[in-house]
Chain A
């Protein structure tokens, strides 16, 4: 199972990097979204999969899955959400101000370094 999930995470990383290398600002942000999905999946996989019940003591199970990676991922999800929404609004504002979302045009010029 871990092998399959590692491959899925690898596919997510590949797609994310490919999108981040493109010209459009929106695609770059979509790429960062995919990258954080891949990273979260990777953390979960590395903690080991399906080793027991959900981490709720009320279950009275023999064994539970590792709760620590889940806590870490929860933190990461919230932080990446905050950063993504900030970037989105930033992108939206730069459309408004600069009238373009093409990264090749968003460069400093000689007067502006």
Chain B
């Protein structure tokens, strides 16, 4: 346990303190206390930048379950550090924003900050763990805390539904991912990511390799809202806006991106990894931006835009994985895709975070997020307008904002797919730049909708709940910081390039680097008249055209009927699952004891019958059997007649007496088979039993005395015959193939010698196996107490009633 472990666990520890602080200092907004922690963590993690720049990862191990190889190993390399800085940095800004966003008097602040801290700790754990089981543990913690945060306003039905949906989908993916992790363990016998990467050459031939790849991608795709699992993200917008800004744009949804990047050294170089990651990514990019343009809710637009941008990063990671297939570093043209993915990851966190905060401000100050009600806010909220212009233009990929740089690199990497000569890309490789380009046009359109439908046009005060005015300064600080980062990263992208991006690339593509080598990244805003520049110009021209003619082509969205959308499909699937499981349960859980007995006996017949047949267990021999005597034959006939009389008796009295006759015949059998003690006991017990039966019979209520014939049922007959036959067959087989000798000789020799008794049965009962008898006495005692209790309780109730 070192300071590093403590740093990762500190949000969990702080979460314990939050409710006390909330109760003790009611006058102070709880967020101020919480704000200290992410700032300290950000400073703490910043000091590792020098180490990772030199390519020296920080490793620290704390034992957790060493016998299973599960240890809390913290491993800080470029990739982990990048995420840790994002989580703590944006976390601090979001908490600052939430202090002004959430009211001290109206909201349950302590639960909010407890959940948020849980989330922050879990996210830090995910990105800094080297042990995959620990990673999985923290991964599920993020799902859980996200569920709690989405359902923060738990009295609203939509919040609860959104929370449930995100929970079901992300946990589904998380469990599949666990399956993939266990397969990795089976292949490499290690839970450590570093050791797994070390064993890649031997492992890639293993049968489970592709299954592990697919399962781990399920985890990444559900968490990062890739097609078709993105449907939970728009519904998660019911969460408070700081949560949306933090979890659903900057951090949690990037956990899937992190996972793909982290496992790139293991899986990249295989065609499956390339195709799944980049194809799903590029389609998600297109689909998300296409759907974002039809939303009327500001947060809806941002949710779909997040989906689209995550797809973009994912597709770049996929294309970047092709770099592994080429050996030399110098002319490796696919490295740019990985570089672009990391750069855009940072850029997206900055502009999307600021846009969410802007939307939160608009919601806070006007009371609505519906673009049909908003308009003309430019002069009323000038600062908010400026920030949203910066964010949205960066999202659209325009200069002078950082989105422009990463979008150019995105186009570069997509165009280079055309030059790829591995993985059979030749045939449909052209689709990559086309999807990217069309998706970017829609990105441009929705970015313009976001800004201009809100801030320009006609001001409609009659539709707004509040009189809008500029937000308080505290609320504006965080988005202002993020928006200035958007511009700073455009003009000085290389401050990121050397410190953050190069080490992160080294962790994604380690096999391309010789020992001590570096990637040399230089990002520049102007790189000559290249195809990607013309593509951007095309995006702007078509985007402007698309935005101006919005009303004319909006009917496109009605081509797909509402019933066929993925959301309807999800709802339908849940409904059907619910209905069908209820139907199945109702079908077999009838409530009739007879039905359950039918299941049990049928199972008995089928299992034992098939076992007898498959194992060829049946055998029959007369060897060693005793000769059939006349007395036994007569008694057997009497017993069978008695049994049949029980079956066919019309009155219960006959049945009871016939049962008695069977019991007495059994005691006669005991006499014939040399068992005097048994005969005696059987005689007494049968007498008392018959008396008891008669007693119950006598107490039957009057109207029930009408005798009715036993209802004949064919199934009952077949099942009972089946049980009888199976019992007989097993008895015959067991009798015909005795494996070991009896241990009777021991009792015969030692009954007198050791126990001093001549009646062997009694000696066994009280001496050799006395414990059986003790508990048999207990059984009788409990039965008699139970009977006494049943009758007494009745008396008491009659007295009271």
Complex alpha-carbon distance, A74 and B759, angstroms: 14
- Do A77 and B681 touch across chains, with their CB atoms under 8 A apart? yes
- Do B674 and A104 touch across chains, with their CB atoms under 8 A apart? no
Residues of A contacting B656 with CB < 8 Å?
Answer: 30
Question: Nearest A residue to B633 by beta-carbon distance?
Answer: A4
- Do B787 and A85 touch across chains, with their CB atoms under 8 A apart? yes
- Do B685 and A18 touch across chains, with their CB atoms under 8 A apart? no
- Do A42 and B626 touch across chains, with their CB atoms under 8 A apart? no
Q: Which positions 47-95 of chain A face chain B at CB distance < 8 Å?
A: 47-58, 64-68, 70-71, 73-75, 77-79, 81-86, 88-93, 95
B549 within 8 A of A: no
- Do B728 and A9 touch across chains, with their CB atoms under 8 A apart? yes
Distance of B575 from chain A, by nearest CB (Å): 22
B747 within 8 A of A: yes
- Do B744 and A66 touch across chains, with their CB atoms under 8 A apart? yes
- Do B682 and A58 touch across chains, with their CB atoms under 8 A apart? no
- Do B627 and A1 touch across chains, with their CB atoms under 8 A apart? yes
- Do B764 and A21 touch across chains, with their CB atoms under 8 A apart? no
Binds A, one of B145-153, B333-341, B638-646: B638-646
Residues of A contacting B692 with CB < 8 Å?
Answer: 84-85, 88-89
B716 within 8 A of A: yes
Choose one: B591, B699, B780, B782; the contact of A107 (CB below 8 Å).
B591
Complex alpha-carbon distance, A89 and B710, angstroms: 23
Question: Nearest B residue to A17 by beta-carbon distance?
Answer: B720
Q: Which positions 763-801 of chain B face chain A at CB distance < 8 Å?
A: 764-765, 769, 772-773, 776, 779-780, 782-784, 786-787, 790-791, 794
Choose one: A17, A57, A90; the contact of B723 (CB below 8 Å).
A17
B732 within 8 A of A: yes
Distance of A51 from chain B, by nearest CB (Å): 7
- Do A82 and B780 touch across chains, with their CB atoms under 8 A apart? yes
Residues of A contacting B643 with CB < 8 Å?
Answer: 11-12, 15, 34
Residues of A contacting B677 with CB < 8 Å?
Answer: 70, 74
Question: Nearest B residue to A58 by beta-carbon distance?
Answer: B758
Complex alpha-carbon distance, A71 and B647, angstroms: 31
Binds A, one of B118-126, B404-412, B594-602: B594-602
Complex alpha-carbon distance, A16 and B646, angstroms: 10
- Do A56 and B760 touch across chains, with their CB atoms under 8 A apart? yes
Distance of A49 from chain B, by nearest CB (Å): 5
Complex alpha-carbon distance, A34 and B639, angstroms: 11
Residues of B contacting A20 with CB < 8 Å?
Answer: 597
Complex alpha-carbon distance, A82 and B758, angstroms: 28
Choose one: B685, B748, B758, B773; the contact of A75 (CB below 8 Å).
B773
Complex alpha-carbon distance, A56 and B489, angstroms: 102
Q: Which positions 628-665 of chain B face chain A at CB distance < 8 Å?
A: 628-629, 632-633, 636, 639-640, 643-644, 646-647, 652, 655-656, 659, 662-663
- Do B676 and A48 touch across chains, with their CB atoms under 8 A apart? no
Taken residue by residue from 1 to 42, chain A's Cβ proximity to chain B (1 for < 8 Å, 0 otherwise) reads as: 111111111111111111111111011011001100110111
Residues of A contacting B488 with CB < 8 Å?
Answer: none
B689 within 8 A of A: yes
Choose one: A14, A55, A89; the contact of B759 (CB below 8 Å).
A55
Question: Nearest A residue to B772 by beta-carbon distance?
Answer: A75
Residues of B contacting A29 with CB < 8 Å?
Answer: 693
- Do A86 and B787 touch across chains, with their CB atoms under 8 A apart? yes
Residues of B contacting A57 with CB < 8 Å?
Answer: 748, 751-752, 758-760
Q: How would you classify the secondary structure of chain A's contact residues: helix, strand, loop or mixed?
A: helix
Taken residue by residue from 673 to 709, chain B's Cβ proximity to chain A (1 for < 8 Å, 0 otherwise) reads as: 1111110011001001100110111011100100000
Complex alpha-carbon distance, A42 and B678, angstroms: 14
- Do B751 and A1 touch across chains, with their CB atoms under 8 A apart? no
Total interface residues on B, CB under 8 Å, equals 96
Choose one: B639, B699, B791; the contact of A8 (CB below 8 Å).
B639
Distance of A81 from chain B, by nearest CB (Å): 5
Complex alpha-carbon distance, A52 and B752, angstroms: 18
B735 within 8 A of A: yes
Choose one: B655, B670, B769, B783; the contact of A82 (CB below 8 Å).
B783
Complex alpha-carbon distance, A93 and B419, angstroms: 87
B721 within 8 A of A: yes
Complex alpha-carbon distance, A76 and B644, angstroms: 24
Residues of B contacting A86 with CB < 8 Å?
Answer: 783, 786-787
Complex alpha-carbon distance, A34 and B686, angstroms: 11
- Do B711 and A17 touch across chains, with their CB atoms under 8 A apart? no
Distance of B509 from chain A, by nearest CB (Å): 60
- Do B625 and A3 touch across chains, with their CB atoms under 8 A apart? yes
- Do B728 and A89 touch across chains, with their CB atoms under 8 A apart? no
Choose one: A7, A19, A49; the contact of B646 (CB below 8 Å).
A19
Given A79-B776, A88-B693, the answer on whether A70 and B636 have CB atoms closer than 8 Å is: no
- Do B685 and A81 touch across chains, with their CB atoms under 8 A apart? yes
Given A27-B655, A34-B643, A78-B780, the answer on whether A18 and B790 have CB atoms closer than 8 Å is: no
Question: Nearest B residue to A15 by beta-carbon distance?
Answer: B643
Q: Which positions 716-760 of chain B face chain A at CB distance < 8 Å?
A: 716-717, 719-721, 723-725, 727-728, 731-732, 734-735, 742-744, 747-748, 751-752, 758-760
Complex alpha-carbon distance, A57 and B747, angstroms: 10
- Do A85 and B689 touch across chains, with their CB atoms under 8 A apart? yes
A96 within 8 A of B: yes
Residues of A contacting B743 with CB < 8 Å?
Answer: 68
Residues of B contacting A52 with CB < 8 Å?
Answer: 674
For the complex of A and B, the 8 pairs showing the least CB-CB separation, nearest first, are A14-B724, A10-B728, A82-B783, A17-B720, A18-B720, A57-B758, A67-B760, A55-B760
What are 6 A-B contacts with C-beta separation under 8 Å? A15-B724, A17-B724, A68-B764, A70-B677, A77-B685, A78-B779
* Besides A4-B633, A50-B629, A97-B794, 9 new A-B residue pairs in contact (Cβ under 8 A), listed by A number: A12-B724, A13-B728, A14-B720, A21-B597, A33-B659, A57-B748, A74-B677, A74-B761, A107-B591
Interface residues of A (CB under 8 A from B): 1-24, 26-27, 29-30, 33-34, 37-38, 40-42, 44-58, 64-68, 70-71, 73-75, 77-79, 81-86, 88-93, 95-97, 99-101, 103-104, 106-108
